[in-house]
Homo-oligomer: A and B are copies of this chain.
C-alpha cells in the first residue's frame, strides 16, 4: 500500500536540497509554460535570482538536466528545451553492464522483444523511401562483406532505419540506446561465427527482414527478425558471452 515515494518529478517544492528543488522548479517551468523542443529558458542568473539561491546551485541543476538531455546548455548560449535523445538510456545501460547489474543476454532479450515489434510495424507503416533505405543498407552489408567495421556500421544503421520506419519515436530511442552495447558485442559475434558462410548467413537474415518490410508483410518481417536474433544470440553464447 501507499507507494507515494520516489517521484522526484513534481511534488511540493519544499523537499531535499536546493539543487533538487531547482530541478523540480525548472521542470515545472517547462510543464506550466507548455514549452517544446527548442523553446528558450531563463538564464541561470535569472533563475538563481527567482529562486533566491546562488548561481552554483542553479548551475548544478541545469547541468543535471542537460545530462538527461532534458535541456540543452552551452557556453554563451541560452538554455533551451532539448529534443528526446537516445544517448541517456544508452549510458545507463552501459553502466548497468559495466557494473555487472545485468547480462548481455538479458539485454538481447529486451532488444529482441522490441525489434520484433519494430520489424512488424515497419512492414505496416514504412513508406517507399524507408523501404528503399532499409533494402539498401542490407545490400551495403553484402557489398562491404570483407570489411567488418563497415558491416557493423551498416548493421547498426539497418536496425535504426527499421526502428525509424516503425513511426514510433520511442522505439527509435530504445533501439538507438542499444547502440553502445552493440558496438561492444558485435565484433564478438562476428568473429565467433565459424566461417564466411555463417557470416554471410547473417547478412542474408538482414536481407530477409528487408524483403519482409519492403513487401509490407509484418509476419514475414517479424519472423525474419526473430531468426536473425536467435542466430545472433547463439553466436554470442558460442563465444562465451552470457
Contacts and interface: CB of A to CB of B under 8 A. Distances in A.
Interface of A: 1-3, 6-9, 17, 19, 23, 27, 30-31, 35-37, 56, 59-60, 63-70, 75, 81, 83-84, 87-96, 98-102, 106-107, 109-110, 113-114, 117, 150, 153, 156-157, 168-171, 174, 180, 183
Given A1-B150, A9-B94, A67 B69 contact: no
Contacts of A150: 1-2
A235 B176 CA distance: 31
Q: Is the interface of A mostly helix, strand, loop or mixed?
A: helix
Contact of A98 (B31, B65, B106): B31
Contacts of A95: 27, 30, 68, 70, 84
A30 B99 contact: yes
The copy count of this chain in the complex is: 2
Nearest to A167: B106
Contact of A168 (B31, B89, B109): B109
Nearest to A6: B87
Most chain B Cβ neighbours within 10 Å, of A59, A81, A98: A98
A169 B35 CA distance: 34
A68 B99 CA distance: 14
Contact of A3 (B3, B17, B156): B156
Give the 10 A-B residue pairs with the shortest CB-CB distance, closest first. A64-B67, A113-B117, A60-B63, A84-B96, A84-B101, A106-B168, A110-B170, A36-B99, A31-B98, A70-B95
Contacts of A56: 56, 59
A9 B67 CA distance: 12
Contacts of A60: 59-60, 63
Given A37-B99, A67-B68, A88-B88, 14 more contacts: A23-B67, A27-B95, A31-B98, A35-B99, A56-B56, A60-B63, A63-B63, A68-B88, A68-B95, A81-B99, A89-B89, A96-B170, A109-B168, A114-B114
A170 B102 contact: yes
A2 B183 CA distance: 13
